[in-house]
A and B are shown apart, each in its own frame.
Chain A
Amino acid sequence: MNPQQTPQNQNIAPQISTQQVYNQPPSGLPPQTKPSKKKLFILIGTGVGLLGLLVVIAVLVGGSEKKPTPQTATTNDAKSELLEPAKALDIEQTNNAISQDMSNLNNDKDFPADQLSDKALGL
């Protein structure tokens, strides 16, 4: 049995050694070729991500800086209008404007006294 097994073992032995040889990295190339590619991809991805983040921050900061400008302007306008002390003419005009508002309301026309009376409803 031993003499038969020996040649089989001899046949297998070289196959295994060949696989091992193929699995081994070539002696001339650096052994970290695949991990370096991964690192490169990670670096590029991180860079792109950071750039994107920067763009988003820039847009947000730019937007928030633009908005207050008109608000400040309107606030200033309101303040400048309020800051003027009343003159007789101002109050007179306000009084006239209130009269105008009230004259536009016709209570008797809007809510006639007999609108819901028995006669009006035919009761």
Chain B
Amino acid sequence: MNKQALLKNIHHKIFGSISLALLILIAVPQPAAAIPSDPPAGSSLQQRIDFRKNELKLVVDPKDEQRLKTRCIAIQALYRNFQQELSPKVTNHQNKYQSIDAKLYLAIGKLKLAQRDTLELEKQRTALAAKVAALDIVFTNYSQSIDDVVVMNCQADLIGFKSLVQTSRGYHDAVRLQTSDIKNYVVDTIKATLAGHTTALQPK
């Protein structure tokens, strides 16, 4: 009985560990998986269409062809609106991240003069800069994918059109994930470190 109870206990522990590992894998966001691969550098519109068609290997159901041919022009009009709205949004995000970086730079300098250990904050500032640089690349590719949807001859190449729309969705998701990741990193990590310095600097 004791052996059976021991075995049951071990089984429960193994099952619990596997469940926990699976839960962590599912719960932790993996931004890299959502990002479409970079298009060839200096590529033309046609090269990018071919690249995405080859990458995604989408098909268009013959039943949907006519509907998609008439719908794609309206979708291009929607994308033209996205195109106009995107640039100021991207600039706003980039400006805010630059502003935060400048504030951290100044705070680190002042903390050093106050004989505080700034290594952790400096690492976090570097990590933030890397996240922002990665987001900048995604912003560029996202903007390019939207431009491509707008300018291509959608009725002449439905599979190409569908592939470009799918690519823009991938970049859109990547932008959402990465902006959210940056926000969480600033709020949960950088601000917490700054708060720690504030507490330590309080007059005793």
Where the two chains meet, the residues of A that have a C-beta atom closer than 8 Å to any C-beta of B are 81-88, 90-92, 94-95, 97-99, 101-102, 104-105, 107, 110-111, 113, 115-116, 120-123
Decide if A102 touches B110 in the complex (CB within 8 Å): no
B175-204 vs A, Cβ < 8 Å mask (1 yes, 0 no): 110011001001100110011011101110
Note all chain B residues with C-beta closer than 8 A to A122.
Answer: 71, 74-75
Contact check, B202 vs A88: say whether CB atoms are below 8 A apart: yes
A88 proximity list for chain B (CB < 8 A): 198-199, 201-203
> Given A102-B187, A122-B75, do A107 and B198 touch, yes or no (CB 8 Å)?
no
Compute how far the CA of A99 lies from the CA of B78 in the bound complex, rounded to whole angstroms. Answer: 34
Task: Give chain A residues whose Cβ lies under 8 Å from the Cβ of B92.
Answer: 104-105, 110
The answer to the question of B106 belonging to the interface, with a C-beta cut-off of 8 Å to chain A, is yes
Shortest 10 CB-CB contacts between residues of A and residues of B: A86-B110, A85-B114, A88-B201, A85-B113, A86-B114, A95-B194, A107-B179, A91-B198, A110-B89, A94-B107
- Whether B109 and A82, one on each chain, are in contact in the complex, defined by CB atoms closer than 8 angstroms, is yes
Minimal Cβ-Cβ distance residue in B for A101? B96
Residues of chain B lying within 8 A (CB to CB) of residue A107: 176, 179-180, 183
Listed in ascending order, the chain B residues whose CB lies under 8 Å from chain A are 68, 71, 74-75, 78, 82, 89, 92-93, 96, 99-100, 103-104, 106-107, 109-111, 113-116, 165, 168-169, 172, 175-176, 179-180, 183, 186-187, 190-191, 194-195, 197-199, 201-203
Question: A123 contacts B109, CB within 8 Å?
Answer: no
Residues of B within 8 A of A86 (CB): 107, 110-111, 113-114, 116, 197, 201
Please report the C-alpha to C-alpha distance between residue A95 and residue B193 in the assembled complex, in whole angstroms.
10
Instruction: Tell me if B186 and A102 are in contact (CB < 8 A).
Output: yes
- By a CB distance below 8 angstroms, the chain B residues around A101 are 96, 99-100, 103
Bound Cα distance A122, B96 (Å)? 34
Q: How far apart sit A81 and B113, CA to CA, in the bound complex (Å)?
A: 11
- Residue of A84, A90, A99, A113 with most partner-chain B CB within 10 A: A90
The answer to whether B103 and A97 touch across the interface, beta carbons within 8 angstroms, is yes
Are A91 and B82 in contact, with the CB atoms below 8 A? Answer: no
Q: In the assembled complex, which residues on chain A have CB atoms less than 8 Å from the CB atom of B93?
A: 105, 110
Q: Which single residue of chain A is at the shortest CB-CB distance from B114?
A: A85
**Which A residues touch B199, using CB under 8 A?**
88
Query: Which residues of chain A have C-beta atoms less than 8 A from B172's C-beta?
Result: 111, 115-116
Query: Given A102-B183, A107-B183, are A91 and B100 also a contact pair (CB < 8 Å)?
Result: no
A116 CB to closest chain B CB (Å) equals: 5
**Sample of 20 A–B contacts (CB below 8 Å):** A83-B113, A84-B110, A85-B114, A86-B107, A90-B107, A95-B191, A95-B194, A95-B198, A98-B194, A99-B187, A101-B100, A102-B96, A102-B186, A105-B183, A111-B179, A116-B172, A120-B78, A121-B78, A122-B75, A123-B71
Complex formed: what's the CA distance from A121 to B169 in Å?
A: 11
Q: Which residues of B contact A83 (CB under 8 A)?
A: 113
Q: How far is the CA of A110 from the CA of B94 in the complex (A)?
A: 13
* B residues less than 8 Å from A105 (CB atoms): 92-93, 96, 179, 183
